[in-house]
Structure 1
């Protein structure tokens, strides 16, 4: 029985607050894209894991965060002449919409202020502060259960101990490394779309900390700009093609196809059309097969349960379980 997972990096302005020149089109569409994606998930009955930047749970703040061990200037874009507007600093009803959606979404975390936990300068103290602040903000907002799933900002994996210390049980790991063939990531995707290759299915794996690594299979906005336009003119939307193949492959096997995006990727009508095409295909395949759509937390719980069963079997008779 195959599984499809959709994870969402829900960050509004926090994904770009450390950029000298943030992409204005994506910032402008950030809130609209969030609402649009929720509507599409409801229409096609797709539960997703929304990894939310913890600051978005807040209603207000002074913008200083004096007790936070962030490097100097990290919160400068919360104040001053070039500060982010409140609509990009706070959720202001968007997280409520996740909770109220018809689809049974999961709310996870994406740090408190989009610190890259795997960056060289990120200390254990800073990682702990990011997780602590995010968990506390979610609790004060009123989330009725502790967040269990986590997405690393910019997929920079590191400081796993902080996740375990704060009750996280799974995270989105990096996509399986493609072979080095000189074409680059976008080139490989385009070649795959023109050919018959499907994105990789992934397997959840539990580490020594008890965390389940659920790697990504496909970023749904990995081919953009001129490369996308060129491919669309020849074969159609290359990412939609790859997503459909991944869904088909999952349905035909017991593997997991894990796709992801940011709400602010939905900038233009053709971006929305891509998601509609992917969801429509998912709905058709699900209707004729036993394909499941699960959240990260659900997949991780199954993986942890299987691990416990395996360990119990070894403890009982000493044999290696099949």
Structure 2
């Protein structure tokens, strides 16, 4: 029996706060996309793994975070360009909507402040603080953290995840940026499926199959004008392959990828197809935590670590 996982990097402004020139359209689209995705998931009753930046769960802060061992300048934008942009820095209303959804989503972590775990400047102390702070805030909200999605898929400090009782993380796609080219995927008919594995730290690596917004700009416009949305076709192909097999197809996106109505249509088409295949076959929809528990088993070190603090 095959399965499909959808994971989202839910970050608002934090996904861009360290960039010199953040993409304005996507920065402003975070709240819109978050709400649209919640509505679509509820419409089709499809659960997903929402990896949330911990800072979004705060109501306010001093913008300094003096007790946080971040590199110099890490929180500068909070105190400068975005000092008056609470809508980019906080999102307790959005998190509440997620947790109160009728759909059984997984609440996961995307670190506290979108730290890039694979970078040299992210030392062990910083990584530990990012996980500990996220976990503390989650507990305040009566939530626990089973899964972790690395900001910008920059993997590092996996031992810290294991020590903090995390069960699973989203691993890198076997293809560049999680996007399989049209020729690579359709003409050569290469598999879209991935295999979750338990790594040396006892964590379950749930690799990404494809990023749902990896074909944009003028090329997308031309393709849609003469054919159809290529990413919808690729997603349908992956879903169909999972339905035919015992494999796993793992799609991911950011809420801020939904900047226009055509992006909403893309996601509606993909979720509608997923719901159709789930109804017509034995295909299941899982969260990353579901996959971790299935792969590692109930007596694994992962389960024991999670139980020790949940």
Structure 1-normalised TM-score? 0.89
Structure 1 residue aligned with 2:118: 118
Structure 1: distance between partners of 2:299 and 2:219:
43
More displaced 10-residue stretch of structure 1: 71-80 or 244-253: 71-80
Specify which of 167, 176, 199 is matched with residue 174 of structure 2. 176
More displaced 10-residue stretch of structure 1: 271-280 or 74-83: 74-83
Structure 1 residue aligned with 2:155: 157
SS state of the match for residue 115, structure 1?
Answer: coil
CA contact (8 A) 1:13 1:88 kept: yes
Structure 1: distance between partners of 2:82 and 2:256:
20
Question: In terms of Rg, which structure is larger?
Answer: 1
Structure 1 residue aligned with 2:245: 253
Structure 2: distance between partners of 1:226 and 1:17:
27
Structure 2: distance between partners of 1:251 and 1:87:
40
Structure 1: distance between partners of 2:68 and 2:224:
46
Specify which of 209, 218, 241 is matched with residue 226 of structure 1. 218
SS state of the match for residue 92, structure 2?
Answer: coil
Deviations 1:283-304, CA, capped at 9 Å, x for gaps: 1111110100010000110001
Structure 1: distance between partners of 2:27 and 2:163:
33
Deviations 1:162-198, CA, capped at 9 Å, x for gaps: 11111111000000146xxxxx986x52324663636
Structure 1 residues 93 and 109, CA, compared in 2 at 3 Å: closer, same or farther? same
CA contact (8 A) 2:172 2:178 kept: no
Structure 1: distance between partners of 2:182 and 2:192:
15
Q: Are residue 105 (structure 1) and residue 105 (structure 2) matched?
A: yes
CA contact (8 A) 1:9 1:262 kept: yes
More displaced 10-residue stretch of structure 1: 33-42 or 232-241: 232-241
Structure 2 residue aligned with 1:203: 195
Q: Which runs of 5+ in 1 are unaligned?
A: 179-183, 309-322
Kindly report the root-mean-square deviation, in angstroms, between the aligned alpha carbons of the 2 structures.
1.8
CA contact (8 A) 1:206 1:304 kept: yes
Structure 2-normalised TM-score? 0.92
Structure 1 residues 15 and 131, CA, compared in 2 at 3 Å: closer, same or farther? same
Structure 1: distance between partners of 2:50 and 2:178:
25
SS state of the match for residue 7, structure 2?
Answer: strand
Specify which of 249, 268, 275 is matched with residue 267 of structure 2. 275
CA shift at 1:38, angstroms?
Answer: 0.3
Structure 1: distance between partners of 2:183 and 2:81:
45
SS state of the match for residue 286, structure 1?
Answer: helix
SS state of the match for residue 93, structure 1?
Answer: helix
CA shift at 1:200, angstroms?
Answer: 2.1
